[in-house]
Amino acid sequence: MNCQGIRSRLAAYAEGRLSSDEREHVRAHLLECASCRTALTHVDKVAAVLMYAENPPVPAGLTIRVMAAARSRQRVAATVCWNPLQWWRMAAAPMHAAAAVVLVVGLTVGLLLGWTSAPLIAQTTTVAQQDPLDAYRLDYLGDVPVGSLADSYLTLVVATNEGGR
Amino acid sequence: MQTPSDEELMLSVRSGNLGAFEQIVLRHQSAAWAVAYRFVGDVHEAEDLVQNAFLRILDAAQRYEPTAAFRTYLYRILTRLCTDHVRKKRPIPLDPLPQLPSPGLSSSEHIERLERERSIQAALDTLPPQYRMVIILRYFEGLSSVEIAQTMNTTPKAVERLLARARKCLEPFLTPLSEE
């Protein structure tokens, strides 16, 4: 690209509107061409000075250190309690299907158990209506002393349930 | 084989792929380093900031959505880390500049170049954090006002105002370095 082409791009260069390749191309020309550098000074004085600045090289081993820290974090995260939401997001579609099947089977089994236990509940109710002395074998207190607290309690319970002893 | 984009790599990182994360680091470490170093002027602090920025990206990978260019996202995290760092830090003397490669330069040209770099860095260090960041993002990273606005979570007009004020602050320091 000649000087005319470069100068038409100086405003865009100073305003950050060039791609990184175009920017490098313009900069490379400016480093060689004093006339275009003077033109840049009139467009943007700061750009004309800072274009000389070169970034120092990336420290050796930076990526290695970043990745070592990243792996260490991943190991720590793996020992933390299982997060079901995170598992759902990360699991593949077959795992989602398997989880759904397990859920449906579990609910079905739970419902079936609920239905089959209904007579037991009725039995429990019947037991509650029976004489507590018979159902809970409280007659082992039959030898309590007359007038004692236990005797008074038994009298009260039996009288309330209209049972006889 | 087509090279995956930054956004594709980040979606892979979201699934726990550390290999994709390493590619992200390799691609963007130079730009991240340049911003951090120009901002703090210290090699060790800049390296810590770059490392923290990439680790933050890794920590937030589960929530990553490609709504903006990845580089904008990286610059945004780095900007926050840099400005927080400078707010907490007391001013300390500048470290010597890291050794710049100087192929084909004579020793006097090399010294002149080092002096110029030192002066530029000293001028940047006089700026408040926000002015410093807009200058770095514009003149060292070549971002437009729109891109800088996205990075700093502000408007392009606000960026232009910051740039105008930052240039005004810099000019007395940089004028001796400019060619007549």
- B6 and B67 belong to one structural domain: yes
- B100 in any annotated domain: no
Q: What is the pLDDT of residues B62-88, one digit of tens each?
A: 888 888 889 999 999 999 999 999 888
CB B33 within 8 A of CB A55: yes
Residue ranges of A 90-129 with Cβ closer than 8 A to chain B: 90
- B117 and B76 belong to one structural domain: no
- B73 and B132 belong to one structural domain: no
| Residue B53 at interface with chain A, using a CB cutoff of 8 Å | no
- B60 and B32 belong to one structural domain: yes
| Residues on chain A touching B139 (C-beta within 8 angstroms) | 46-47, 50-51, 53
| Domain boundary pick from B29, B64, B90 | B90
Task: Measure A111 CA to nearest chain B CA, in Å.
Answer: 37
Q: What is the pLDDT of residues B35-46, one digit of tens each?
A: 999 999 889 999
Question: Rounded to an integer, what distance in angstroms lies between the CA atom of residue A71 and that of residue A76?
Answer: 9
If one counts every other C-beta atom within 10 angstroms of the C-beta of residue A161, the result is: 13
- B25 in any annotated domain: yes
| Domain boundary pick from B64, B90, B116 | B90
**A44, A54, A58 member nearest B33 (Cβ):** A58
Residue ranges of B 63-92 with Cβ closer than 8 A to chain A: none
- B11 in any annotated domain: yes
CB B137 within 8 A of CB B90: no
Q: Tell which of A55, A63, A80, A88 to mutate to test the B interface (max B CBs under 10 Å).
A: A55
- B80 and B145 belong to one structural domain: no
- B76 and B143 belong to one structural domain: no
Residue B152 sits in a domain whose CATH number is: 1.10.10.10
- B86 and B11 belong to one structural domain: yes
- B180 in any annotated domain: yes
At A161, the pLDDT band (50, 70, 90 cuts) reads low
Task: Measure A107 CA to nearest chain B CA, in Å.
Answer: 31
- B9 and B85 belong to one structural domain: yes
* Domains contained in chain B, number: 2
The alpha carbon of residue B64 and the mean position of all alpha carbons in its chain are separated, in whole angstroms, by 21
CB B86 within 8 A of CB B40: yes
- B9 and B46 belong to one structural domain: yes
Domain that holds residue B161: 106-180
Residue B75 sits in a domain whose CATH number is: 1.10.1740.10
More confident residue, B71 or A91: B71
More confident residue, A30 or A116: A30
Is residue B99 over pLDDT 70?
no
Beta-carbon separation of A56 and B170 below 8 A: no
More confident residue, B48 or A80: B48
Beta-carbon separation of B22 and A63 below 8 A: yes
- B111 and B85 belong to one structural domain: no
- B119 in any annotated domain: yes
Rounded to the nearest integer, the mean pLDDT of chain B is 87
Q: What is the pLDDT of residue A151?
A: 79
- B54 in any annotated domain: yes
The mean pLDDT of A49-76, rounded to a whole number, is 88
Q: What is the pLDDT of residue A130?
A: 56
Q: What is the pLDDT of residues A109-145, one digit of tens each?
A: 888 888 776 655 555 555 555 555 555 555 555 566 7
* The model scores a pTM over 0.80: no
- B96 in any annotated domain: no
At a CB cut-off of 8 Å and minimum separation 6, what does A62 contact?
B29, B33, B47, B50, B51
- B112 and B70 belong to one structural domain: no
| Domain boundary pick from B90, B117, B133 | B90
Q: What is the pLDDT of residues B138-173, one digit of tens each?
A: 999 999 999 999 999 999 999 999 999 999 999 888
Q: Which of A17-31, A61-75, A136-150, B56-70 has the lowest mean pLDDT?
A: A136-150
The letter for the amino acid at A40 is L
- B83 and B110 belong to one structural domain: no
Is residue B91 over pLDDT 80?
no
Radius of gyration over alpha carbons of chain A, in Å?
Answer: 44
- B97 in any annotated domain: no
